[in-house]
Structure 1
Amino acid sequence: MGEPSGFEYAVRGDDVVIRHRGRVATVLRGERATRFLDDVESGDPQLLMARLTGDYRRGNERTAKEHPRNRG
């Protein structure tokens, strides 16, 4: 799986708006917005935004399902 990309965020008042490829993916408010702004300074912003929006899981579910250890 490749590195997450295409994310951007904007602070609007007390809210943080996260966009993925130009579309609003999520809006963080309150404590989540504050935590996000603290975490984005110390980590990889693209990965953090992908995890918050759920886009980090896309693309490898089918491959993992077919892996020999997961066949059951």
Structure 2
Amino acid sequence: MSNHIDKRGRLEETPFDFRISKNNTVFISYYGKEIKIVKGKEAEKLIRDLEETNNEKEEQLVLAKITGNYKRGNERSKGRR
């Protein structure tokens, strides 16, 4: 994984956590607060993606992307138009 994805090091803090229920529903938390529930085919794909990660940072990136808490590079900063 390249370093330019998490330039500010926010995923180093491991803000995301998850748990998987018996029926493969994924509950995602951000700093201890539940923020998203993923079910069905989307949950199956998420579980597969999480199983394929090699380290904690990759896992955090997968969770950040699924929750939408991920800088895509197309946001504008304040003051720029």
TM-score bucket (shorter structure): 0.7 to 0.9
Out of 4, 15, 25, the residue aligned to residue 6 of structure 1 is: 15
TM-score, length of structure 1 as denominator length: 0.73
Q: How many residues matched? A: 66
Unpaired segments ≥5 residues, structure 1: none
- Residue identity over aligned pairs, in percent, reads 29
Q: Over aligned residues, Cα RMSD in angstroms? A: 2.6
| Runs of 4+, deviation exceeding 6 Å | none
Out of 70, 76, 79, the residue aligned to residue 56 of structure 1 is: 70
Q: CA deviation at 1:34?
A: 1.0
Aligned AA (1:22): G
Unpaired segments ≥5 residues, structure 2: 1-6
Choose between structure 1 and 2: higher strand proportion.
1
Task: Give the whole-Å Cα distance in 2 for the aligned partners of 1:51 and 1:16.
Answer: 14
Specify the structure having the higher radius of gyration (Cα). Answer: 1
Task: Give the whole-Å Cα distance in 1 for the aligned partners of 2:52 and 2:78.
Answer: 30
Choose between structure 1 and 2: higher helix proportion.
1
TM-score, length of structure 2 as denominator length: 0.66
